Structure 1
Amino acid sequence: MSKTCTDLRRLALNGPTMGTRWSALTYAPATFDPAPLQAALQAAVDEVDSQMSTWRPDSALMRLNAAPPGAWVPLPARLIEVLACGLEIGRASGGAFDIGMGDAVAAWGFGPAAADPARIRAAVTAQRRPAQDRLELDRVNLRARKHGPLQIDLNGIAKGYGVDRLAEVTRSFGLSAALLAIDGELRALGSQPDGSPWPIAVERPDYDARAALSLLALQDAAVATSGDYRHWVQVGGRRLSHTMDPRRGGPLLAPPASVTVVAPSCMLADAWATALMVLGCEAGATLAAAQGLDALFLIRDGDALRTVPVGQLFGAQAAASTASASATSSTM
Structure 2
Amino acid sequence: MGGLRYAVVGAVLGMLGGCGASESLEAFGGQTMGSTYSIKYVRNPGTPATSDLQPQVQSILGEVDRQMSTYRSDSDIEHFNDLPANSCRPMPEPILHLVRTGEQLSQASGGAFDLTVEPLLNLWGFGPQAREIKIPEPMALAQARLRVGHQHLRIAGSQLCKDAAVQVDFNSIAAGHTVDRIAERLEQLGIDRYLVEVTGELKAAGRKPDGAPWRVGLEEPRDDQQVAERIIAVDGFGVSTSGDYRNYFQQDGRRYSHTLDARSGAPITHQLASVTVLAPSALMADGLSTLLLVLGPEEGWNYAEEHRIAVFFVMREGSAFVTRSNKVFEQLTAAKP
User: Hey, what's the Cα distance between the residues in 1 that align with 2:221 and 2:298?
Assistant: 19
Q: Is the 8 A contact 1:124 1:248 kept in 2?
A: no
User: Hey, what's the Cα distance between the residues in 2 that align with 1:200 and 1:271?
Assistant: 19
User: Hey, what's the Cα distance between the residues in 1 that align with 2:282 and 2:56?
Assistant: 19
The structural deviation recorded for 1:118 is 9.2
**What is residue 149 of structure 2 aligned with on the other side?**
131
Segments ≥4 residues shifted beyond 4 Å: 116-123, 127-130, 315-318
User: Hey, what's the Cα distance between the residues in 1 that align with 2:222 and 2:202?
Assistant: 20
Identity rate, percent: 36
C-alpha offsets along residues 96-152 of structure 1, whole Å, 9 cap, x if unaligned?
Answer: 2111101011222223343266966555324558633110013xx311101223121
User: Hey, what's the Cα distance between the residues in 2 that align with 1:305 and 1:118?
Assistant: 27
User: Hey, what's the Cα distance between the residues in 2 that align with 1:162 and 1:122?
Assistant: 37
Equivalences for 1:8-157 in 2 at 5 Å? 8-29=23-44, 32-112=48-128, 113-115=130-132, 121=138, 124-126=141-143, 127-128=145-146, 131-138=149-156, 141-157=157-173
The structural deviation recorded for 1:190 is 2.5
Q: Which sections of structure 1, spanning at least 5 residues, go unmatched?
A: 321-332
Equivalences for 1:119-268 in 2 at 5 Å? 121=138, 124-126=141-143, 127-128=145-146, 131-138=149-156, 141-268=157-284
User: Hey, what's the Cα distance between the residues in 2 that align with 1:317 and 1:116?
Assistant: 39
The structural deviation recorded for 1:33 is 2.5
Q: Which amino acid aligns with 1:68?
A: P
What TM-score results when the alignment is normalised by the length of structure 1? 0.87
Q: Which sections of structure 2, spanning at least 5 residues, go unmatched?
A: 1-18
User: Hey, what's the Cα distance between the residues in 2 that align with 1:85 and 1:76?
Assistant: 15
The structural deviation recorded for 1:248 is 2.3
Q: 266-275 or 239-248, which moves further after superposition?
A: 239-248
**What is residue 328 of structure 1 aligned with on the other side?**
none
User: Hey, what's the Cα distance between the residues in 1 that align with 2:23 and 2:311?
Assistant: 34
User: Hey, what's the Cα distance between the residues in 2 that align with 1:5 and 1:218?
Assistant: 22
Asked whether 1:288 is paired with 2:304, we answer yes
Look up the SS of the partner of 1:72 in the other structure. Answer: strand
| 1:147–1:217 CA distance, 2 compared to 1 (3 A) | same
Q: CA RMSD in A?
A: 2.3
Report the count of equivalent residues.
314
The structural deviation recorded for 1:192 is 2.5
What TM-score results when the alignment is normalised by the length of structure 2? 0.86
